Amino acid sequence: MELNANAFGRNARKALLDKTLQEALGRTTGRFQAHRDAAVAALPEFEATRERASRIKGDVLDHLDTYLARFIEEAEKRGTIVHVARDAAQAREIAARIAWEEGITLAVKSKSMASEEVSFNEALQGAGVTVVESDLGEFIIQLAGEAPSHIIAPAVHKTREEISLLFERHLGEPRTDSIPELVGMARKHLRAKFLSAGMGVSGGNFLVADTGSVVLVTNEGNGRMGTVLPRVHLAVVGIEKVIPRMADLPTFLRLLPRSASGQVISSYVSIVTGTRRAGDPEGPERMHLLLLDCGRSAILEGKYREILKCIRCAACLNSCPVYQSVGGHAYGWVYSGPIGAVLTPLLVGLPEAAALPDASTLCGACADVCPVKIPLPDFLLELRSDAREQGLKTPGEIAAMKGYAGVMKRAGLLEAIERIAGVLGQFFTKGKGISGLPYPFSGWTERRDFPAPAAEPFRKQWKIKRGVTR
């Protein structure tokens, strides 16, 4: 997917003016959040489960190579052909080669955020393969030629009117505003694709090391169909998705749907363990697994390793007032919201995405809901500090901070400035807030007043009143 993260400010302003987007955002994030809160409240052991999940993931990260080796061994035993891609270019190359060797011309794909990281669809299309997104949301945005704007609800920014228009234009369907009818149209169109596709492509929510299984958590039947109907199944999954044992899966299944949409369990949980065996009624003849490193090993080595605990539930997006205000596209890459603000700079390099860690008030709502307890605000702060150290801050900001620190290091100097400001403040505002300030405060005063400084700062009042000097 094309990277445009540093345009966050501009994209956000555009999003704020987009009425339909604003309505859609308000509706969806609010609903997800309310359902999540209710589901969590109804599970007394939520906190303990969260604790356990975070611990399991921590253990995985401490021994990722061991667990991955075990997973690959078990998966290969069951007929899965495992590939590992170091970076996006290699991932594209491997995907194209698999398609070519398997003689694929049509592939149906269920939702995979990781595949977006490497521009997977473009790679297959370059190899002459038609890729059809089969998740309803992904299907819609594929027709629109857009990118997902939410991890679990990729088309949240689209209204039903817009969707009907797309279906009319691309599928020749009549206009309707009935959601069941729209779903029916997509289903009819996709059913034909499922039956003729040579390959099903999926993501993967978990890789189970002791059984070599790929676990898919979905709400639509497309994931199930895409992994059993076509002759070949290709799963594209990040290396950090491994969990040690099948016995650990329930812990995560308890957290993921609840945190994502407030469901106790998703409509489908598919555990795909290798190819079809003798006597199996269904399943692919060939199974490929494309494991993506794509920057993950490097993250593992550094101070942000815990970000690899993420199970992509999107709870942090739904809880984030900044995400709620601007939606996912403003973040300019695959991942949005707090997880995107941290993960994008780590995966693509901070210089390419330095605008994102600033896109937060550090309110902490994300850390409150994260089911694997990732300290997202701490990471945002750390990234901002990295930006300074890597020379990514504007000279203006640095000069302002140096000036500020210079004043604050000397109480006497501060007092002198306060005295002047007090006089000026009173003079200009006649006891009211200030309504027009120059840059960088101009943004503030566009729609809000700035407080006028007090004529007599507290420090001075105290000295006079109590006659003390220290």
Residues contributing to the site for other proteins (CB under 8 A): 9, 12-13, 16, 321-322, 325-326, 357-365, 367-368, 378, 381, 383-388, 393, 397-398, 401-402, 404-405, 407-411, 414, 418, 421, 431-433, 435, 440-441, 443-444, 446-454, 456-459, 461-463, 466, 468-470
Closest CB to ligand SF4 among residues 39, 313: 313
Q: Strand 199-202: give its sheet, edge to edge.
A: 80-85, 286-292, 232-238, 199-202, 106-109, 130-133
Instruction: State both tokens at 125.
Output: 């299309």
Residue 445's contacts (CB-CB under 8 Å, 6 or more residues apart) are: 434, 435, 436, 437
Minimum Å distance from CB 256 to ligand SF4? 8
Binding residue for ligand SF4, selected from 96, 185, 339, 354, defined by CB under 6 A: 339
Q: Which residue has the tokens 């089969």?
A: 134
CB of 436 to other proteins, least distance (A): 11
The count of C-alpha atoms lying within 13 angstroms of the C-alpha of 246, restricted to the half-sphere facing its C-beta, is 10
Check binding of 311 to ligand SF4 (CB under 6 A): yes
By beta-carbon proximity to ligand SF4, the closer residue of 143 and 256 is: 256
Could you tell which of ligand SF4, other proteins, none binds residue 401, using a CB distance below 5 to 8 A set by kind?
other proteins
Alpha-carbon gap, residue 33 to 99, rounded angstroms = 40
Residue keyed to tokens 């891609």: 85
Which of other proteins, ligand SF4, none does residue 408 bind to, with CB < 5 to 8 Å depending on kind? other proteins
Q: Is 362 left (phi over 0), alpha (psi -120 to 50) or beta?
A: left
Q: Closest CB to other proteins among 140 and 367?
A: 367
Residue 312 interacts, among ligand SF4, other proteins, none and using kind-specific CB cut-offs from 5 to 8 Å, with ligand SF4
Per-residue interface string for the shown chain with ligand SF4, residues 202-241, x marking contact by CB under 6 A: ----------------------------------------
What is the smallest separation between the CB atom of 294 and ligand SF4, expressed in angstroms?
17
CB of 352 to other proteins, least distance (A): 17
Rounded to whole angstroms, the Cα distance separating 282 from 269 reads: 16
Choosing among ligand SF4, other proteins, none, which partner's interface includes residue 371 (Cβ < 5 to 8 Å by kind)? ligand SF4
Please state the closest distance from residue 156 (CB atom) to other proteins, in A: 18
Which position among 94, 314, 348, 359 is part of the footprint of ligand SF4 (CB under 6 A)? 314
Does position 322 interact with ligand SF4 (CB under 6 A)? The reply is no
Residue 371 as a binder of ligand SF4 (CB under 6 A): the answer is: yes
Q: Residue 62 or residue 397: which is nearer to other proteins going by CB?
A: 397
Between 165 and 434, whose beta carbon lies closer to other proteins? 434
Using the minimum distance from each CB to ligand SF4, give the nearer residue, 197 or 339.
339
Tokens for 14?
């555009």
Would you say how long the chain is, in residues?
470
Decide which of other proteins, ligand SF4, none touches 148; Cβ closer than 5 to 8 Å per partner kind.
none
Establish if 315 lies at the interface with ligand SF4 (CB under 6 A): yes
Residue with tokens 């809160």: 37
Measure the CA–CA gap between 415 and 431, rounded to whole angstroms: 20
359 binds ligand SF4 per the rule CB under 6 A? no
The entry of ligand SF4, other proteins, none near residue 280 (CB within 5 to 8 angstroms by kind) is none
Binder of ligand SF4 out of 190, 313, 334, 353 (CB under 6 A): 313
- Is 310 one of the binding residues for ligand SF4 (CB under 6 A)? yes
Asked whether the beta carbons of 31 and 379 are under 8 A apart, the reply is no
Kindly list the distances between the CA atom of residue 31 and the CA atoms of 138, 299, 315, 363, 428, in Å, as whole numbers in the listed order: 20, 33, 12, 20, 46
Contacts with ligand SF4 by CB under 6 A: the residue count is 14
- Name every residue whose Cβ is closer than 8 Å to that of residue 259 and which is 6 or more positions away in sequence: 36, 40, 311, 313, 314, 315, 369, 370, 371
Q: Does 374 bind ligand SF4 (CB under 6 A)?
A: yes
Any contact of residue 258 with ligand SF4 (CB under 6 A)? no
- Burial class (CB within 10 angstroms; exposed 0-12, middle 13-18, buried 19+) of 439: exposed
Query: 454 contacts which partner out of ligand SF4, other proteins, none, CB within 5 to 8 A by kind?
Result: other proteins
Residues that bind ligand SF4 (CB under 6 A): 259, 310-316, 339, 369-372, 374
